[in-house]
Chain A
Amino acid sequence: MDAIRVDNLLKRFEDVTAVDHISFSVSQGELFGLLGPNGAGKTTTINILSTLIRPTSGTAEVGGYEVTRSRDLVRKSIGIVFQEPSLDGKLTGRENLEFHAMMYGIDKAERRKRITAVLDLVELSDKAAVLVEKYSGGMKRRLEIARGLIHHPKVLFLDEPTLGLDAQTRRHIWEYVRKLNKESGVTIILTTHYMEEADFLCDRIAIMDHGKFVALDTGPRLKDVLGGDVVSLEVESGMDAFLAEIRGLDWIKQVHVHEDVLHLTMDRGERRIPELIALAQELGAVVTCVHLRKPSLEDVFLHFTGRTIRDNEAGPGERNRAMAMGPHGRR
């Protein structure tokens, strides 16, 4: 059975179409990524799947339950870590978890056991009695992940789980997420606008732009679209003969010459480099520099959307958030 099934989902906010007729399914135990710039519709999709908002049209099932008709059943089967912190800073870490467990109707003995277990998992056991407002950003994130797991959800939503965290904490959280998915078999839906995050974690990645899916596949296969690795050779002399020979090789898909640098597209570039060098020597061409570039998701994104993900930074979503903080500051 699929953990998630989405059919022709549409969400309009007044004049903006946030989610534009998307359809996809996620199988049980999969780690599925929604990759896209801010404002692409990732969070809206998550909000619909987690019953926070209702779709304009289309259907979505989570854990076998329809998200508008069986809200409570869906809520019981999911855990969610929101993009922005959703902890009560005036409660301690343990109290936040207690609150959650009680809201999900877990009895006292079981509650104690599970809270100890999840605190261990995210290595916050020694900070459990500290008020959450004293936590660092990374600790808050880890506590939220722990909280999302207490009620043993079938599906865990992680909305930008590492947004604004430093590289080390980010790496740490990636490890947790991976471990969790492998060990407990929980289905995970993750949104991110970090390429390396999607690449590192996700079994399959949907690239989302303007509310639509522009591509959906495994990371390696998405990169295949680009035709493979690019090997660049700087050729000091003997370029013409070398080039003529190169053009005759059937495993080279594309050839670009840029002054004295040769860009060759091929599969498994690292294995072909020795061959290319040997060929050059045979023809008396002098290669002074070799560079191998594996295609990144960044390239894939560029290929499908026509721009880099950085062009979209600080989109409307982030500006709204900054404004929503308002003049009142923190309580």
Chain B
Amino acid sequence: MRISGTAVYVLWLREMKRYSRAKSRIVGSLIQPVFFLAFLGLGFSRMAVPGMGTGVSYIRFLVPGILGMSILFSSSMQGLSVLWDREFGFLKEIMVAPVSRLSIVLGRIAGGTTTTLIQTFLVLIPAVALGFKIASAPGFVLALLFMVLIAFAFIGLGLIFASRMKDMQGFGLIVNFVIFPLFFLSGALYPLKNLPPVVRALSLADPLTYGIDGLRGCLIGAAERPILLDLAALAGFAVLMLVLGAYFFEKSESV
């Protein structure tokens, strides 16, 4: 299948324009992580985090988790935005164009990843203002890679669901029964060590677990697993979900 660079670019460009015009969307999606950071971070600031070694305050532990949460929500919404395009008819305009479905998927991933990263940086600013310190510059660069991979994985997941659904009816179900469990299983807010074995086993099937642990390793220098292990697991999930997302999108009927 041929990839059309122009098509990928124009789909990306569309997403940038839409994003820059959706002021309320930007503010809305910032509020939640910032509230989490401010209230949880300050409220639990005196608590020790079990199993993370000494010197890791709760706010340091929390920030990578909140970044991961922000990426999870933003990127899965990006994947699911196919549903909106279907609802508002624009999907048909995209689908009758003489470009391969693969180009369309790549365009969406490019657009979704960019907006997700912008969003994540916007969350990082108040975090730093609240006293969060990034461990090292190379760690930050590696953290970027983690962010991109988390975004890939959940854009892929969103695409899988959006391609299987005909309309918006199931949207709330997906948010409540897929996105939130993925968030709570990931250890974004608390260490997974103390969870019952069954839940802990489940959490290992959640790509975000590796993403957030990796972000912790990169940004605060303390994590449950070696960074490379997190990276490998997350990359595996990302590739798998993207391939599945592209496959289901290709198979989906556009009307």
Contacts and interface: CB of A to CB of B under 8 A. Distances in A.
Interface stretch (B55-63, B87-95, B197-205, B221-229): B87-95
Contacts of A191: none
Given A88-B18, A90-B18, A103 B90 contact: no
Contacts of B232: none
B59 to A, nearest CB: 35
A315 B167 CA distance: 20
B169 A51 contact: no
Interface stretch (B2-10, B46-54, B177-185, B240-248): B2-10
Contact of B168 (A72, A131, A147, A326): A326
A82 B92 CA distance: 8
Interface residues of A, number: 35
Contact of B98 (A47, A99, A104): A104
B137 interface: no
A104 B253 contact: no
Nearest to B90: A88
B174 interface: no
B39 interface: no
B255 A52 contact: yes
Contact of A324 (B4, B17, B87): B87
A99 B14 contact: yes
A324 B168 CA distance: 8
- Chain B contact patch, size range: 20 to 34
Contact of A88 (B7, B9, B14, B255): B14
A50 B17 CA distance: 28
Given A76-B98, A90-B21, A95-B17, A103 B10 contact: yes
Contact of A85 (B89, B168, B253): B89
B17 A91 contact: yes
B99 interface: yes
A105 interface: yes
Interface string A71-96: 01101101010101111111100010
A319 interface: no
A69 interface: no
A53 B255 contact: yes
B104 to A, nearest CB: 9
Nearest to A331: B84
Given A75-B97, A75-B98, A102 B90 contact: no
Nearest to A43: B255
A103 B107 CA distance: 11
A85 B93 CA distance: 10
A105 B4 contact: yes
Nearest to B107: A103
B4 A84 contact: no
B114 interface: no
B96 interface: yes
Nearest to A91: B17
Nearest to B4: A105
B210 to A, nearest CB: 33
Contacts of B169: 326
B4 A52 contact: no
Nearest to B169: A326
Q: Which of A73, A102, A331 has the most CB of B within 10 A?
A: A102
A53 B253 contact: yes
Given A52-B255, A86-B89, A86-B90, A80 B96 contact: yes
21 contacts: A53-B255, A72-B99, A75-B97, A78-B96, A80-B96, A82-B93, A86-B88, A86-B92, A86-B93, A87-B90, A88-B14, A90-B18, A91-B18, A95-B17, A100-B93, A103-B94, A103-B99, A105-B6, A105-B98, A325-B87, A331-B88
